[in-house]
Amino acid sequence: MMRENQGLEIAVVLFFMLTVVLAVSTFVCFRQYVLVAEQVKLCQEDAGKMRAVAGDKQLQIDELKRLMGFAATEVLETVRVRFGEDMRTYAASFPEQTRFYHSVLAYQHNTIRDKSTELAELTREIQAWKDQYERLEGIQHGQVMQHRAVAVAAQKDLAGVQEAARQARSRMLEDNDQMRQTVVETRREGDLAQSAARREYQQLQGKYQEKERELAALKAVVERLGQGSYKVPDGRICGVSYRLGLAWIDLGRADSLQRAVSFDVYEKQAARMTESTKKGSIETTNIIEDYLAEARVVDEQITDPILRGDKIHSALWVARPKSGRFPAASFR
């Protein structure tokens, strides 16, 4: 009986111990489950936060790609390759540590701004030169019209003198014919009228000489008019190269101009050559066009160089008259 009770007690003790161990292990396992669940929840929350941060970073990366001109689908290696190509193309002279889009854009902006400022300054300078050129053209047009009026008046005066000389010569020739006829008639009268005819002949001869003297005086007047105060310019200087020692004039084939023709150069304001001081001389070397020829500078004053617009005149050459041109007047 005692043994049966001891076995029962042992069984009860073992059952209680097993129950306690089961309860403790169950509590420990539940506790571990709770801790693991909390850690899993914390990990899930951290993972959510990391995904949110990663999504924000990806949006920032996509925005940076867009700002740099790349598609959002471009991978980093492609972006690096295209970045290197852009830097070699647009920033080859930049130091390696400053090769970025920001510095390149700033440099290009400053360069464009400086060039725009320089272009605006050049544009203003060109406009100023244009305005000055138009003013000079207006002044030269007035001078040309004045010179044309002087040339027309000189031609009219010369035509009047030539007509007077022609009439005087005609009268002289008529008188000469009459004198010859009188001499023939006188000789036919015979020996008795020879002395009277000789006297009459002498009188007529005196008249003839007087007419010759009048004609010579008229020729001298014509020559003075042709070579004196009506000596007008033949053309003008339309370009000068001081480095080559060349000048270009507005005469050419249409004026029957030849090479090796010498011209005297006068101030552009001169209307009559005899009233102006000679400032140099040129000699034609090449006939380029109808109204353009090249000449070398033969003589020039350092203090008063030959300039564009200066007048030219030749004493040994006369331009062929034509419509729209005003060559120097001459009488031959």
Using CA atoms, how far apart are residues 182 and 113, in angstroms rounded to an integer? 101
pLDDT score for 321: 59
pLDDT recorded at residue 288: 96
| Mean pLDDT on 217-236 | 60
CA–CA separation, 90 and 83 (whole Å): 10
pLDDT of residue 227: 53
CATH code of 235-313, in short, is 2.40.10
Q: What are the strands, taking DSSP E only, across 171-291? A: 235-241, 246-249, 262-266, 280-289
136 has a pLDDT exceeding 80: yes
Burial of 42 (0-12, 13-18, 19+ CB in 10 A): exposed
pLDDT confidence tier of residue 327, bands split at 50, 70 and 90: very low
Mean pLDDT for all residues in the chain: 81
Q: Is the pLDDT of residue 109 over 70?
A: yes
The ranges assigned to domains in the chain are 157-227, 235-313
If you search the block for the tokens 């160089």, which residue do you land on? 305
Give residue-wise pLDDT tens across range 234-288: 899 999 999 999 999 999 999 999 999 999 999 988 766 666 788 999 999 999 9
Helix (H, G, I), strand (E, B) or coil at 278: coil
Q: What is the pLDDT of residue 271?
A: 67
Token pair, residue 68, equals 């740099």
The answer to whether 203 and 170 have CB atoms below 8 angstroms apart is no
Q: What are phi and psi of 258, to 5 degrees?
A: -120, 170
- Classified as helix, coil or strand, 222 is helix
